[in-house]
Chains A and B, each alone.
Chain A
Amino acid sequence: MHPPTKFSLQDANGQEMQFPPQGPVLLALVKEDCDTCNLTLPLLEAVHRATDDGLDVWVAVQKTEDIPVLKDRHDLTMPLLDDDALDLSYETDIDTVPTLFLYDQEQNCTLQTFGFDRHEWREIAKESMALAGRPDGNTDIDWDALPVQRPGCGARNYEPGVYERLQAIKSGDLLSRLVDLASSDDIHDFMYEQGYTDGFPVVPPTRERVWKMLQGTDRDPQDEVAIVPPNLAPITVEKIAINAVMAGAKPEYMPSIIALVEIACTDSFNIHGVLATTMGATPVGIFNGPIRDRIGMNYLHGALGSGNRANAAIGRALRLCVRNVGGSVPGGTDRATQGGPHRLTMNFAENEDASPWESLAVEYGFEPADDVATLMAMSGGPATIADERSREARGMAGTLAMSMSCMQDPKSPMVDTLVVLSPDHAGIFGRSGWSKDDVRECIMEETAIPLKHRLRSDDAGCGLPQSVVERFGGEAALDLPVPKFREKSNIILVVAGSSAAKFSTILGGWAGGAYSVPTSATIGPTGALEVRGSRGSDMDKRSSGGRELGAFEPSVRPD
């Protein structure tokens, strides 16, 4: 609460009243639907009449329409000021009405109180009389007839909705351009036509909603978080919050959304290529650690979609940031040949409790208690693997391998495939004592086919060019077994979903995984704390111009 020093408000007659007036003044802030205000207004009027010209008594009312009501109800003659815009209430930061400030001749605030305390109010009335030059005067207030104490009421400037509006307008946190809509505009049509959406309606990013979203992070709204491709536009926390509102996010998702933007804009993840590619890739987010439960992410039934707000909105917010700030628009710099529904949002949490193994984050070097987000570029899938018969690890791994052997095309070796095992499928490996590496080794062996079957031929034009034969050692290498995956670590194993049945999911990587490395970050209140590429050491997190993680070129490339 800060006693005001200067303001200007209109009185009930529309006359501008400049504060402070000459001489001492008693200033009160009230609202109509407050019993304590109604109790005290006759007391203020009594002081006003008793002090006459020796002291001004001004009452600021928090709603225009309440001024005539209060005036008639209490037969008031003192000036009633209109603080409907709540400028005075906001600047003063009162949270309770009535609030009372007494100023002396030099405009120093000497006494202040809120609510009603008979002793305090009596002192203020007495001091008011003294300041008015009538220390022995009588206010005609029967103090003994009044209650000893009454609590005040919540000030209107702190009411839900009003508080956020005032903060949004007056805090100075929001610097983005305001877009006015005509009353005849349908807001959803308007936002779609402006190109702001992913095709579905979005939540209109009003100042109030964006300000509330910003409360989900400790980070300064004007902090520049990253440079977003393809337009290489700087993105601030405020811009992320706007797009997060549009995506349907809650404030507690903000640190995760900021972290995803930071990960996406690293050189290692390379969101530029992921979204520009004709292959139609998209970032897929996987969350580990306590944050999954803290923000209500789904890793059980339907974890990969749909129906959970955190899963859906966090992924969608990232996509909207890259679209609206980075300028990645389908048909523009987003050159996806066909695209897919997973490009709207693809984001889930790992079911760590149902996994027989360490989580993805722990595998990538983080601690189990860390909140971690990992982004992977995936262009294929999600495709279902249905195996309700396997009971042993070898058979289950074989099913996975055969299902994965035709990813992208049946001949080309590829890198990075995300295998999302259901708890029932993962449990088969757990009961058999198979590690993640055991599963991977089996998949490598099972998918290995002679080099000659990976070469282009008349019956299937895909695959490796004949020229690679020389690199493998010439004709003698034609029967050399070549697995589908370059390395075991390119087979990414996570567990998600419920124990409903034996169905798992695979998602194929992008362009063999050579151009985008799965990249993770620990999440703190300000977004990403530490960013790591899965195949590299720590890296510069701010940047699309960050350090390279190190050359990662597949030993066998289609071209």
Chain B
Amino acid sequence: MVTQILDPTDERVPIKRSLTPRPEALHGRIALLDISKPRGDVFLDRLEELLHERAPGVETRRFMKPTVAKPAPQPIKDAILEECDFVIEALAD
């Protein structure tokens, strides 16, 4: 006898999104996103220094989530999308 159970999941099929093609060189403006985790600023400060040193001409812009505990507010996501070509996120500890 075939046993049947009901699916306990949300049953949604994730939308497949392809990655944006990897650029051959850094250019334009890079968003540096601090998620408000300890020492995220230290990491991004150093990274910013290195970027300016090794990729002159590349502009950086700093963003920060108001809290580590919740997803980034939409205005921050919108600003990164509109103003920047790349984003580097300092994730977790």
Q: Which stretch, A44-52, A155-163, A239-247, touches the partner chain B?
A: A239-247
Chain A residues in 8 Å Cβ range of B5? 178-179, 181, 187, 191, 204-206
Contact indicator B6/A176 (Cβ below 8 Å):
yes
Query: Which residues, 1 to 39 on B, are CB-close (under 8 Å) to A?
Result: 1-12, 38-39
In the complex, what distance in Å separates the CA atom of A205 from the CA atom of B92? 37
Residue of A nearest to B70 (CB): A273
In the complex, what distance in Å separates the CA atom of A233 from the CA atom of B1? 33
Contact indicator B38/A559 (Cβ below 8 Å):
yes
In the complex, what distance in Å separates the CA atom of A276 from the CA atom of B68? 10
Query: Which residues, 29 to 80 on B, are CB-close (under 8 Å) to A?
Result: 38-39, 67-71
Contact indicator B3/A187 (Cβ below 8 Å):
yes
Chain A residues in 8 Å Cβ range of B71? 272
User: Dominant SS at the B interface?
Assistant: loop
Is B82 close to A, CB under 8 A? no
Binary interface profile of A, 228-240, with partner B (CB < 8 Å = 1, else 0)? 1001011100110
Query: Which residues, 270 to 325 on A, are CB-close (under 8 Å) to B?
Result: 270, 272-273, 276-278, 320, 324-325
Residue of B nearest to A321 (CB): B8
Residue of B nearest to A558 (CB): B38
Is A177 close to B, CB under 8 A? yes
Is A511 close to B, CB under 8 A? yes
Is A503 close to B, CB under 8 A? no
Is A182 close to B, CB under 8 A? yes
Chain B nearest CB from A353 CB (Å) reads 37
Chain B residues in 8 Å Cβ range of A207? 4, 6
Interface bin, chain B: 20 to 34
Chain A residues in 8 Å Cβ range of B2? 180-183
Chain A residues in 8 Å Cβ range of B7? 176-179, 242
In the complex, what distance in Å separates the CA atom of A52 from the CA atom of B28? 95
Chain B nearest CB from A63 CB (Å) reads 17
In the complex, what distance in Å separates the CA atom of A511 from the CA atom of B2? 48
Chain B nearest CB from A492 CB (Å) reads 19
In the complex, what distance in Å separates the CA atom of A187 from the CA atom of B2? 11
Contact indicator B4/A178 (Cβ below 8 Å):
yes
Query: Which residues, 322 to 369 on A, are CB-close (under 8 Å) to B?
Result: 324-327, 335
Chain A residues in 8 Å Cβ range of B1? 183
Chain A nearest CB from B38 CB (Å) reads 4
Chain B residues in 8 Å Cβ range of A234? 10
Chain A nearest CB from B76 CB (Å) reads 16
Chain A residues in 8 Å Cβ range of B92? 278, 335
Chain A residues in 8 Å Cβ range of B38? 558-559
Contact indicator A196/B8 (Cβ below 8 Å):
yes
In the complex, what distance in Å separates the CA atom of A278 from the CA atom of B29? 31
Binary interface profile of A, 170-189, with partner B (CB < 8 Å = 1, else 0)? 00001011111111010100
In the complex, what distance in Å separates the CA atom of A180 from the CA atom of B2? 7
Is A516 close to B, CB under 8 A? yes
Contact indicator B6/A242 (Cβ below 8 Å):
yes
Given known pairs A278-B92, A511-B69, the reply for A178 and B10 (CB within 8 Å) is no
In the complex, what distance in Å separates the CA atom of A179 from the CA atom of B39? 47
**CB-contact partner of B9 in A196, A238, A277, under 8 A:** A196
Is A210 close to B, CB under 8 A? yes
Question: Which A residues lie at the B interface, using CB under 8 A?
Answer: 174, 176-183, 185, 187, 191, 196, 204-207, 210, 228, 231, 233-235, 238-239, 242-243, 246, 270, 272-273, 276-278, 320, 324-327, 335, 511, 514-516, 558-559
Which 10 residue pairs spanning A and B have beta carbons closest together? A273-B69, A515-B69, A233-B10, A177-B7, A324-B8, A559-B38, A176-B6, A181-B3, A242-B8, A325-B10
- Extra A-B contacts (10), CB below 8 Å, given A183-B1, A207-B4, A273-B68: A177-B6, A180-B3, A191-B5, A205-B6, A231-B12, A239-B10, A278-B92, A320-B8, A514-B67, A515-B68
